[in-house]
Structure 1
Amino acid sequence: MNKKFRNTYLSILLFSLVLFLVHWGIDSQFSIITYYSIGGIYLFHVISAFAVAGITQLVYTNFKDYAGFAFMGTSLLKMLAAILFLIPGFLSEDKPTFTNILNFFIPYFLFLIFEAVQSIKLINPKDQN
């Protein structure tokens, strides 16, 4: 297995574990009642981060010039999947509060930034000669 590929997945797991523990600690400290479970939120983010990293890596391996487009396309699909993840809450009678929406979108944007940094590292390696 390629070293870059393995390190990306390990980085995603470590990043999500640290972020999950911090998020869980903050939620339990302030007794925030969540509409969406924190485990479900992070499961969504980890699976989508693996998909973005995997597809970007696959495109980079075969077509180096299109890896950035692959990242942008998978990010768009991730955004659509996030909307599908949130729709049941908005269609129910018991609507999620603003705090519950932030419980989803703060990790979403942190994962998006992390994925962008990982993709930039893949596309523009520092050890080019």
Structure 2
Amino acid sequence: MTSPSFRKRQRAFILQLAVLGAVLFLLHSYLLSSLAPDSIFVIPIWQVYLFHVITVLLVYGIINYRYTMGKTQVFNAFIVLMVLKMVLVVVFLLPLFLSDVGHKIGDAVNFFIPYFIFLAFEVFSITSFLQSDEPC
């Protein structure tokens, strides 16, 4: 059973993540259509954003749950989740690595710029609720 504080934090985070994801996706799509209209990418941009939103939501949800259950020392869990996320990144980018496409830099940029933006948002959100005075 989850506490009201868990659900409150989770709902607020999901709303913020949805807004961030939608704004970044629309901006990214607009920039690609304006600056590189003829570019063809191995990994579609919507899959990149779906991957980021799902992984960030899972990491935040697990940390939030552990914190709610009284485990305030969540650093080890966060590190393990980041390593797992890095493994998932490699698996997600495998089609790009294995493709015969000559220019892979565009796909890499399309993936890693949002990756670091979502990572910064994730770290900021987790540290914000860990530093708050709100009870578990």
- Normalization by structure 2: what TM-score? 0.85
Alignment correspondent of 1:21: 26
1:86 to 77, 86, 93: 93
Find the residue that maps to 1:109 and give its secondary structure.
Answer: helix
2:57 to 42, 50, 56: 50
Give yes or no for contact 1:89–1:96 (8 Å, CA) kept in 2: no
1:115 to 110, 122, 126: 122
User: What 5-or-longer segments of structure 1 have no aligned partner?
Assistant: none
Q: Offset of 1:95 from its aligned partner?
A: 5.0
Alignment correspondent of 1:125: 132
Alignment correspondent of 1:4: 9
Find the residue that maps to 1:36 and give its secondary structure.
Answer: coil
Give yes or no for contact 2:14–2:57 (8 Å, CA) kept in 1: yes
Alignment correspondent of 1:37: 44
User: Larger RCO: Structure 1 or Structure 2 (Cα < 8 Å, ≥ 6 residues apart)?
Assistant: 2
The alignment status of 1:75 with 2:82, answered yes or no, reads: yes
From the superposition, tell whether residues 96 and 53 of structure 1 become closer, same or farther in structure 2 (CA, over 3 Å). Answer: farther
Q: Offset of 1:78 from its aligned partner?
A: 1.1
Find the residue that maps to 2:26 and give its secondary structure.
Answer: helix
User: What 5-or-longer segments of structure 2 have no aligned partner?
Assistant: none
- Normalization by structure 1: what TM-score? 0.89
Deviations 1:47-80 (A, max 9, x none): 1011011111111111332223322221221111
Alignment correspondent of 1:97: 104
Find the residue that maps to 2:122 and give its secondary structure.
Answer: helix
| Identity across matched positions, percent | 35
